[in-house]
Structure 1
Amino acid sequence: MSLESTNLQTASQNVSSIEERPLRRQTHTYELIRQCIHCGFCLPTCPTYAVLGVEMDSPRGRIYQMQAVADGRMEVSAEFVDHMYCCLGCRACETACPSGVQFGKLIEAAREHIQLEVAQMPLFSEHMRPETTLQEKPISKGDGEYPLHEHVPAPPALESPTERLLRRFFFDMMLPSRSITSLVFAGLKLYQRTGLQTLVHRTRLLDIVNALPTPLQGKLKMPEKLMPNASGELLPAPLSEVTPALGRRHYRVGFISGCIMDQVFRDINKATIRVLTANGCEVITPMQQQCCGALHVHAGEAERGRKLARHNIDVFEPYNCDVIIINSAGCGSNLKEYGHLLRDDPQYARRAQAFSAKVKDISEFLASIELNQEMGEVSRTVAYHDACHLAHGQKIKQQPRQLLQAIPGVTMVNLKEADWCCGSAGIYNITNQEMANTLLQRKMDNIAATGASVIATGNPGCMMQIAMGVRERGMEIDVVHPIQLIDEAYHAGGLYEIPVHDLTIEQKRQQRSLLAAFGLGMLIGIALLQRRKRSA
């Protein structure tokens, strides 16, 4: 047995609360495990199985391992950790499953089980860090070629005190605190705006630091690549708590502004609020709300996710909203599962179910009401990418397409494998960079074949991942949220104005073109006047 596995086993023997672990018999999780009939219908839909070709990295294989741990036939070894964290959590297997297996809940329970064991270990103990080593081996995949990778033994990769402290900072300090999150992103904005980023690139400082033998060796460049251009205020003020409807009020809606969304994609949040008000909604955005806990739950930090869920329920309940709107697919999927997350909490179980019943993705809500048709023309060729947690997690596929097709001037084109994961998967593209990049290249090949000028998708992680792929390939494609195109249509229809810093890339490009044309016209006019004067 490896040193890492021995440490994990020793830690588990020293934990008095092992009865509370998710993977054990006579639990709700165990009943979910037993729903799997091992038919294998999920295998062709699983991205990691398609790339690795390894049964233990398929949904069926992972469920087999979960049951073995629950039955006491398998210990929580380094190999088990590796297989559980290699999963993207895309939930495509749920869409394919004839038995209705809720794999998303199972993978989250398995990761929670792992983290409960790891948490009991001393800070300076060593155990295998969950990561996958891939060995490229191109093979034919239907009508295209994609690299197949073999699952080969990973070199020793130990979780250092640095990595554990970073995890605690990210999940326990940064995400739950809007102030700390705001300060972190203010630093990133300064990094871009002060010229420091340019200096780092010219001096190749990042390459040098990335090559140093640290726990983060080889993994520092990806977060920097993913960063979108920092726009907006350095420390943005909170969104208005109450935004009245334009005209008669038909709905009172709560709005989840999110943590990453509010810092990186605040323009999308503002567009969402404008579109809601244009459709008779009074929008309530409580300033006390916190991170929804999606990244925590997906990563196995379920207890912190429960604390955040309780807080958000407490914050939104007094407003008595008709619905609660979210514009981030990953967050929405988690918010709709607060009832499951808090099912064993006697004080919050029913309240969580009531809260989740009100949660709707922005596209889901707009498609369910009589949409305001005061739209102007938006001349775009649009391909739609299904965010995994919207298509598979929430079963929302047609509503975003219906809304996009309702916009005058928009031409929809088909994106092959539109519901195939792009490799973002929360923070997966940072922790499992090689696999994430393999999936991104497959997605970018399909995007390039569409001829679209715009890729629309309803999740911030997908937007950053695909936008990175667009930049790397030098493609002239804008990556936007569907709500931004609806917002642009209302602006074009004269319903309201959009502040300059909230315009989409294409709108800014058009604005610059108009200014350039105006400037050129002025120069030509001045030249003609001077010529007439000389002639006179």
Structure 2
Amino acid sequence: MTTVQEQQTIQNVFQDRMDQDELLNCMRCGFCLPSCPTYITSGYKESHSPRGRIALMKAVVDGLIEPDEDFEQSLNQCLGCRACEPVCPSGVNYGHLLEEARDIINQNKKHSLPVRTVRKAVFEGLFPHQNRMRTMTGLLGFYQRSGLQKVARSTGVMKLFPESLATMERVLPKVPTMKEMKNRPEFLPAVAPKTNRVAFFTGCLMDTMFLETNNATMKLLQLAGCEIVIPQNQNCCGALHGHSGEKDGSKALAKKNIKAFEDLNVDYIITNAGGCGAFLVDYDHLLKDDPEWKDRAKDFKDKIKDITQILYEVDFHKKVKLELPYQIVTYQDSCHLRNVMKTSAAPRALLQAIERIDYTEMKDADRCCGSAGIYNIVESEMSMQILDYKMEQTKATHASTVVTANPGCLLQMKLGIEREGLSEKMRAVHIVDLLMEAVQE
């Protein structure tokens, strides 16, 4: 709970730091309302809509309300999916306002000791250090392979955890060994006529827990005629920090990544995680007030491209035979891939090029699944309500394969499938892995 003094400090910093032109840019027209999952799921509460949250931010700046617990909860309930931005006639950069507001609150309130400890461990001790990410993943691998997982499940230990977390444990992928995670190439040649020289942003979770998807991504790029540079000194994109009120941490990570990639002489920097890609293309905004880095950030941002987009642009789906056994396939958009990176047609075109499958478009495929980074952990109730709606639409497609393009979405859809008891009839898969299955070499 924030004290009166903390609220006053937060209000003062809001007045100094919030972009008042952007706040005034919102016309209160309501075009954003039908696109906002929390507004709909909450029973149409105005305070849970983009328009309502902007109004609350403006009221804090104007001194009309205090930045109390209700105000903070309204911001915390936001998924940050940014579905409101493409439909806004004024072009309000809602995501930038939300991140700035969260950072101001987080940096000017005193968290409890347990919260401070967890935040420090996660944001300073874990994600900025890829070697520690590998160690954590290695421990998870030991848990899975040593028999501890079977013991935990058979003895009912998992029942001590919240239902969503216990279910999430069942859908985690089989993680690679430490040796596999450390054995990473720095350069891979094209194996088809050369089309581009690219760099690959490996990510933190993607290059540990989802290592096989990264391997498949690089293989597809090679088949598409790309020679690939994989800088070893890259690190976490900083999205988790930026979305959680740790802006200084995200800036530090951004600068390391820009430095790692800027002298590689590549055409593009390729990502395979919508959430990472969306944060990477926002580096120019993140560092806009830093004279030394703002132009470098802009150059970096201009080279970011999702794996599906580059495959589509080089006609991979027309040059390489793609075929799978008959199955009904549907696609769940990654919010950030669609709303920030503006990539939605390419993944669909690639899927529809696979022979023998029946592609079926999902109703509201562009609505958030409720994952949103760690939202499904910290705002579990709302997340599960949003997932329930998503699973209704998924089941209506009669699909046996649900495809997405972001690790958080993938785990959330796996979670939904498990909760619905559909694990024997339906699977969730990253689009890269499905395309790799379909490649007929």
Fold shared, TM-score > 0.5 on shorter chain: yes
Contact residue 238 and residue 287 of structure 1 kept, 8 A: no
Contact residue 192 and residue 229 of structure 1 kept, 8 A: no
- The reply to whether residue 46 of structure 1 matches residue 41 of structure 2 is no
Q: CA deviation at 1:489?
A: 2.5
Q: Any idea what SS the aligned residue of 2:277 has?
A: helix
- The reply to whether residue 449 of structure 1 matches residue 422 of structure 2 is no
Question: Which string of whole-angstrom CA distances, capped at 9 and with x for unpartnered residues, describes residues 45-99 of structure 1?
Answer: 1111111121111111100111122223333211111110100011111122111
Q: Any idea what SS the aligned residue of 1:325 has?
A: strand
Instruction: State how far apart, in whole Å, the 2-side matches of 1:480 and 1:239 are.
Output: 23
Instruction: State how far apart, in whole Å, the 2-side matches of 1:117 and 1:265 are.
Output: 36
Superposition map of 1:49-68 within 5 A: 49-52=39-42, 53-68=44-59
Q: CA deviation at 1:238?
A: 4.2
Q: CA deviation at 1:39?
A: 0.8
Tell me what 1:509 maps to.
Answer: none
Equivalent residue for 1:388, pick from 332, 335, 345: 335
Q: For residues 295 and 14 of structure 1, do their structure 2 counterparts lie closer, same or farther at Cα, with a shift above 3 Å needed?
A: closer
Tell me what 2:438 maps to.
Answer: 489
- The reply to whether residue 373 of structure 1 matches residue 363 of structure 2 is no
Tell me what 1:526 maps to.
Answer: none
- The reply to whether residue 30 of structure 1 matches residue 20 of structure 2 is yes
- The reply to whether residue 437 of structure 1 matches residue 432 of structure 2 is no
Tell me what 1:178 maps to.
Answer: 130
- Structure 1 stretch displaced more, 73-82 or 342-351: 73-82
Q: Which has the higher contact order (CA 8 A, sep 6+)?
A: 2
Instruction: State how far apart, in whole Å, the 2-side matches of 1:294 and 1:238 are.
Output: 26
Q: Any idea what SS the aligned residue of 2:39 has?
A: helix
Q: Which amino acid in the other structure matches residue 70 of structure 2?
A: E
Contact residue 226 and residue 465 of structure 1 kept, 8 A: no
Tell me what 1:189 maps to.
Answer: 141
Instruction: State how far apart, in whole Å, the 2-side matches of 1:398 and 1:41 are.
Output: 23
Q: Which structure has the greater CA radius of gyration?
A: 1
Structure 1 alignment gaps of length 5 or more: 122-158, 211-217, 495-536
- The reply to whether residue 81 of structure 1 matches residue 72 of structure 2 is yes
Q: CA deviation at 1:436?
A: 0.5
Q: For residues 13 and 97 of structure 1, do their structure 2 counterparts lie closer, same or farther at Cα, with a shift above 3 Å needed?
A: closer
Contact residue 257 and residue 326 of structure 1 kept, 8 A: yes
Q: CA deviation at 1:386?
A: 0.8
Instruction: State how far apart, in whole Å, the 1-side matches of 2:22 and 2:306 are.
Output: 26
Tell me what 1:281 maps to.
Answer: 226
Question: Which string of whole-angstrom CA distances, capped at 9 and with x for unpartnered residues, describes residues 94-121 of structure 1?
Answer: 1221111111111111111111112xx3
Contact residue 176 and residue 209 of structure 2 kept, 8 A: no
Q: CA deviation at 1:31?
A: 1.6
Q: CA deviation at 1:347?
A: 0.4
Q: Any idea what SS the aligned residue of 1:419 has?
A: coil
Q: CA deviation at 1:399?
A: 1.1
Instruction: State how far apart, in whole Å, the 2-side matches of 1:443 and 1:220 are.
Output: 16
Equivalent residue for 1:327, pick from 264, 272, 279: 272
Tell me what 1:112 maps to.
Answer: 103
Q: CA deviation at 1:411?
A: 1.8
Tell me what 1:415 maps to.
Answer: 362
Q: For residues 238 and 290 of structure 1, do their structure 2 counterparts lie closer, same or farther at Cα, with a shift above 3 Å needed?
A: farther
Q: For residues 226 and 174 of structure 1, do their structure 2 counterparts lie closer, same or farther at Cα, with a shift above 3 Å needed?
A: farther
- The reply to whether residue 359 of structure 1 matches residue 359 of structure 2 is no
Q: Which amino acid in the other structure matches residue 464 of structure 1?
A: L
Q: Which amino acid in the other structure matches residue 37 of structure 1?
A: M
Instruction: State how far apart, in whole Å, the 2-side matches of 1:48 and 1:14 are.
Output: 28
How many residues get paired?
Answer: 435
Question: Which string of whole-angstrom CA distances, capped at 9 and with x for unpartnered residues, describes residues 345-372 of structure 1?
Answer: 0100000001000001111222222325
Q: Any idea what SS the aligned residue of 2:413 has?
A: helix
Aligned identity (percent) is 38
Tell me what 2:90 maps to.
Answer: 99
- The reply to whether residue 10 of structure 1 matches residue 5 of structure 2 is yes
Q: CA deviation at 1:488?
A: 2.2
- The reply to whether residue 293 of structure 1 matches residue 288 of structure 2 is no
- The reply to whether residue 232 of structure 1 matches residue 222 of structure 2 is no
Q: Any idea what SS the aligned residue of 1:296 has?
A: helix
Q: Any idea what SS the aligned residue of 1:324 has?
A: strand
Instruction: State how far apart, in whole Å, the 2-side matches of 1:220 and 1:162 are.
Output: 22
Question: Which string of whole-angstrom CA distances, capped at 9 and with x for unpartnered residues, describes residues 280-332 of structure 1?
Answer: 11111111110000111111211100000000000111212110000000000
Q: Any idea what SS the aligned residue of 2:206 has?
A: helix
Q: Any idea what SS the aligned residue of 2:362 has?
A: coil
- The reply to whether residue 341 of structure 1 matches residue 286 of structure 2 is yes
Q: For residues 359 and 226 of structure 1, do their structure 2 counterparts lie closer, same or farther at Cα, with a shift above 3 Å needed?
A: farther
Instruction: State how far apart, in whole Å, the 2-side matches of 1:425 and 1:262 are.
Output: 19
Instruction: State how far apart, in whole Å, the 2-side matches of 1:466 and 1:459 are.
Output: 11
Contact residue 79 and residue 370 of structure 2 kept, 8 A: yes
Q: Which amino acid in the other structure matches residue 40 of structure 2?
A: A
Q: Which amino acid in the other structure matches residue 89 of structure 1?
A: G
Q: Which amino acid in the other structure matches residue 123 of structure 2?
A: F
Q: For residues 164 and 360 of structure 1, do their structure 2 counterparts lie closer, same or farther at Cα, with a shift above 3 Å needed?
A: same
Q: CA deviation at 1:12?
A: 5.6
Instruction: State how far apart, in whole Å, the 1-side matches of 2:29 and 2:332 are.
Output: 28
Q: CA deviation at 1:191?
A: 1.6
Q: CA deviation at 1:376?
A: 4.2
Equivalent residue for 2:202, pick from 257, 281, 287: 257
Contact residue 219 and residue 430 of structure 1 kept, 8 A: no
Q: Any idea what SS the aligned residue of 1:407 has?
A: coil
Instruction: State how far apart, in whole Å, the 1-side matches of 2:432 and 2:158 are.
Output: 36
Q: CA deviation at 1:219?
A: 7.8
Q: CA deviation at 1:262?
A: 1.1
Q: CA deviation at 1:233?
A: 1.8
Q: Which amino acid in the other structure matches residue 406 of structure 1?
A: A
Q: CA deviation at 1:474?
A: 2.6
Q: CA deviation at 1:228?
A: 1.2
Question: Which string of whole-angstrom CA distances, capped at 9 and with x for unpartnered residues, describes residues 241-289 of structure 1?
Answer: 1011114333110101000111121111111101111111111111111
